[in-house]
Amino acid sequence: MSDDETPIFAAARQANEVLHGAAPALPRPESPRIITIANQKGGVGKTTSTVNLAAALALGGLGVLVIDMDPQGNASTALGVDHREGTPSSYELLMWESPLEDLMQKSPHADRLFCVPATIDLAGSEIELVGLPQRERRLAEVLIPEDLQSLGIDYVFLDCPPSLGLLTVNAMVAAREVLIPIQCEYYALEGVGQLLRNVELIQQHLNTDLEISTVMLTMYDGRTKLAEQVAGEVRKHFGETVLRTVIPRSVKVSEAPGFGMTILQYDAGSRGALAYLDAAREINARRKAVEADSLASTAPAGEAKGNGPEENR
């Protein structure tokens, strides 16, 4: 959507229908999808995308769990759940101190939206994990698809910290899919090569099922040539993996967490909200393709298979 004209009106009505449960429910994936949101660069929209996609899918009637893996706890804030020091959290999950169902808090934003919050306790866990058995599989061991299914969870989103340390490794070992948000700014692809190499290492040694299922363009400013160029370059590299929906840069999107909300509660008719609703629908519609074996889809378009994608600066 490019204008602020009548299409926005139609879209706002659509958003309101979603918020009030009048819109058609989204089809459920056959089995729970576990998606890691990763990019070791900070500020690219990992947390924003996690909470807004989670809220959009939950408002579409699906069961969604966000596990906050970033000690900053920003996802927990936006989902309106308690994450003060001492609150049972993702730390207890990683330490195998409490079962998942005891750590899930219901978000006030939707009926079937849950969050395992992150507290400051998680900050020391990268070091603590080093000395533990199965240090890369701590999360995978307690995130069992059958359990998720019996809890009514269709989607699990793992919001990673801005590093490729053990918390991110745990998330990638526990997940089946990686979603990479890429900010449409200068140096957008800086570090992406390193991220891709890490994903490859995890595929080889720790989780053969892992795949980069989704690349999402965030903070797109349609007024700049630069955003368009970055988007073009990302699409050239990643091909089909890139969502058609692009998330616009919008002040409202950045304001929402300050009120303990996602954009869908803060301003359901805004361009940002509609973009995340569209992105969520697109991700959910891709579930069939994702089920299929698709190592090929992780290779950027136009590149020979077998060659690692080159970092592009």
**Which member of 48, 170, 245, 284 binds ligand ADP (CB under 6 A)?**
48
Planar angle of CA 253, 67, 131, nearest 5 degrees: 130
Stretch that binds ligand ADP, among 46-54, 79-87, 116-124, 141-149 (CB under 6 A): 46-54
Position among 27, 43, 86, 99 found at the interface with ligand ADP (CB under 6 A): 43
Give the rounded distance of the alpha carbon of 268 from its chain centre: 20
Please count the residues of this chain forming the interface with ligand ADP, following the rule CB under 6 A: 17
Q: Judged by CB under 6 A, which stretch of 44-52, 190-198, 204-212, 302-310 contacts ligand ADP?
A: 44-52
Of the candidate residues 33, 109, 249, 271, the single one contacting ligand ADP (CB under 6 A): 249
3-state secondary structure of 263: helix
Binder among 87, 107, 207, 250 for ligand ADP (CB under 6 A): 250
Only one of the segments 185-193, 200-208, 223-231, 249-257 lies at the binding site for ligand ADP (rule: CB under 6 A); that segment is: 249-257
Find out whether 118 and 78 touch, Cβ atoms under 8 Å: no
Q: Give me the residues that bind Mg ion (CB under 5 A), please.
A: 46-47
CB of 18 to Mg ion, least distance (A): 25
Please choose which of Mg ion, ligand ADP, none residue 43 contacts, taking the beta carbon within 5 to 8 angstroms, the exact cut-off set by kind. Answer: ligand ADP
- Minimum separation from the CB atom of position 46 to ligand ADP (A): 3
- Pairing assessment for the beta strands 105-106 and 211-218 based on DSSP bridges: unpaired
Q: Report, in this order, helix, strand and coil percent for the chain, each rounded to 5.
A: 45, 10, 40
Spatial distance between the Cα atoms of 222 and 9, rounded to a whole number of angstroms: 20
53 contacts ligand ADP (rule: CB under 6 A):
no
Q: Which does 218 bind (CB under 5 to 8 A by kind): Mg ion, ligand ADP, none?
A: ligand ADP
79 binds ligand ADP (CB under 6 A): no
What, of Mg ion, ligand ADP, none, does residue 86 touch, CB below 5 to 8 Å by kind?
none
With b for 16 or more beta-carbon neighbours within 10 A and e for fewer, the 16-53 pattern comes to eebbeeebeebebbeebbbbbbbbbbeebbbbbbbbbb
Write out the binding residues for ligand ADP, residues 197-226 only, by CB under 6 A. 218-219
Q: What is the DSSP string of 70-124?
A: STT-HHHHHTT----TTS--HHHHHTT-S-HHHH-EE-TT-TTEEEE---GGGGG
CA gyration radius, the chain: 18
Residues that bind ligand ADP (CB under 6 A): 42-48, 74, 162, 218-219, 247, 249-250, 253-254, 272
